[in-house]
Structure 1
Amino acid sequence: MEELSKLLTAEQGKPLAESRGEIGYGNSYIEWFSEEARRINGEIVAGTTRTKEMMFIRQPIGVVGMITPWNFPNAMITRKVAAAVAAGCTCVVKPAEDTPLSALALGLLAEQAGFPKGVMNVVTSRRHTPEIGKLLCESPKVAGISFTGSTQVGKILYRQGSSTVKRMGLELGGNAAFIVFESANLDTAVQGLMASKFRNCGQTCVSTNRVLVQESVVDQFLEKLKVAMDKLVLGDGFADGVTQGPIINKAQFDKVSRMVEDARKGGAELVMGGEPHPAGGLFYKPTILTQVTEDMSLFKEEIFGPVVSVKTFKTEEEALSIANNTRVGLVSYFYIVTYLYFL
């Protein structure tokens, strides 16, 4: 486990503590689906009416092409492969070009564990990623595609898979709203935002993307948030105390920088950060922007970086309208105090 954690940090950049956590829950997928394989015959459950029952059977479909992301290069593979193998499928895994080593390590471990040759196959490439994805989608020998990644790439794969009416399992991008009402416990809300925004340097599909704070408490919220963000430590993921690693590559670094600059030119107010970190390389300062508008790119698209964009609202109706003004979803968060009265 420790060797896999170190390998993950070396190629992806996240702090070693986060890598250990990923390896741990990545292994839990293998444990779960290996136990589920004991119950592969199916099950019968109650139907929607008393006169009906539903029978579920699980049968292999054949070869499954799996295209996995760079932000969780271990867990996204174990989640996909473990389920497919438990059902009797064979797999062709195409890991992200930035993080092939974790995939190769898992392939080696599968071989050492006794997987027959050809059950789990790993194909790595930096120059020919689009061609490999197209081949997996269009080949009649591949029965299904499982992809985790951007919405843009997901649409391409969906079109390519239509030629063979491929079974598609897609987990695409999000645009998570984080809503804080004036009745919320602001300390708890800040704690939740730090967890949902800065895990893996903000590079997760469930990362907070749009922070909506009720007008009456926005100043208090921002003060508490700045204190929490000041405690973030950027640096080498192997160093003790580091909580933030780098952005994955130059293209993503430039995208984050461009989004921040475009927002500032459009009238957003910079509260903190907003520039590359003195550590150099692909490190970017944790950033807060306020006065953000809905037409700004960082409000419409996934940021995938350590940038908090804040917009205020007055009423619940306004908050819901802003939160729902997106073509993608995946997850949202809200903080509000509720009271239960028992009569």
Structure 2
Amino acid sequence: MSTANNQPTALDAVVIGAGFSGLYMLYRLREAGLSVRVYDAADGVGGVWYWNRYPGARCDSESIYYNYTFSEELYKEWTWNSRYPEQPDILRYLNFVADKFDLRPNIQFKTRITSAEFDETASRWQLQTDGGETISAKYFITGVGCISTANIPNFKGLNSFKGKWYHTGHWPHEKVDFSGKRVGIIGTGSSGVQAIPVIAQEAAHLTVFQRTPQYSAPARNRPYTEEEILQAKANFSEMKQQVRASAGGTPVQTGDRSALQDSPEERQRVFEEAWALGGHAILTVYNDLLTDEEANETVSEFIRTKIHEIVQDPETAKKLTPYYLYGTKRAIIDTDYYETFNRSNVSLVDVRC
């Protein structure tokens, strides 16, 4: 807190957020000998993975790459369970990191920074917290991320709604029991695509309200074998170099030719292999799917056809079929998303109609 004579707490650096970036920034600044404190509104570390606890919440980057790489010792001490890590595992990982490097003494939880002004004369930031603390810092670093604030739409009647409602970005810590309930879910972005199949297994009936249909490829999530885990840890240095040299933080190999160079039959074979492999493989099998509209149409039409093959009701399949090009919105991966619409207790409402 501020000192007794109302002088502000003096720090070299203040960081907002105790997620992936905030914890790493704390580690680096402290290693550099700076006095630093992290502020977070939550009562624990994790950032977005602290708040996003909805059913089916899972990362769409592979576990072996979704790690800190500043410490080989850390990488080899931690073991992921599956190809794509679920929210509880990611939260356990971040707590493990905080404990391993003794980061908690420099984190102040349940606290928000309410104002930040730069004093040009003193060349320092003057900060205020919601608890009345005043802080003076040379460096002010925000690690809040791009999805830290939940968007709660101003739906007419929401305040008078007598049922229970939840937001995926601020999910309760305790399990929400949907058994025997009629549930509506609004939105089919990545969170909706993850939550819909899980909630549908429990709810008496699930109604999905969709504005824009989504392209989604199967994740093909599975447990790692012991051999895969040992190999990943043995190849740490090579993996780190590949990640640093990659375009998106994961060492994905892009095909060496245009989709238009292959015959329709060969293209179909390539796409089928990528679909069976799962994850984001289908977006990278050719080198021009994101740069050539005609090439993109080949993969877009492939996934549209898959939707109609999977979804049994033609009208529902039609509603679920995107009309834009694949990859122009975030490429989603899923577990049984389209298959869920074959369940008798699931219905789809297209809100554009």
TM value normalised by structure 2: 0.24
**Larger-gyration structure (1/2):** 2
Q: Is the helix fraction higher in 1 or 2?
A: 1
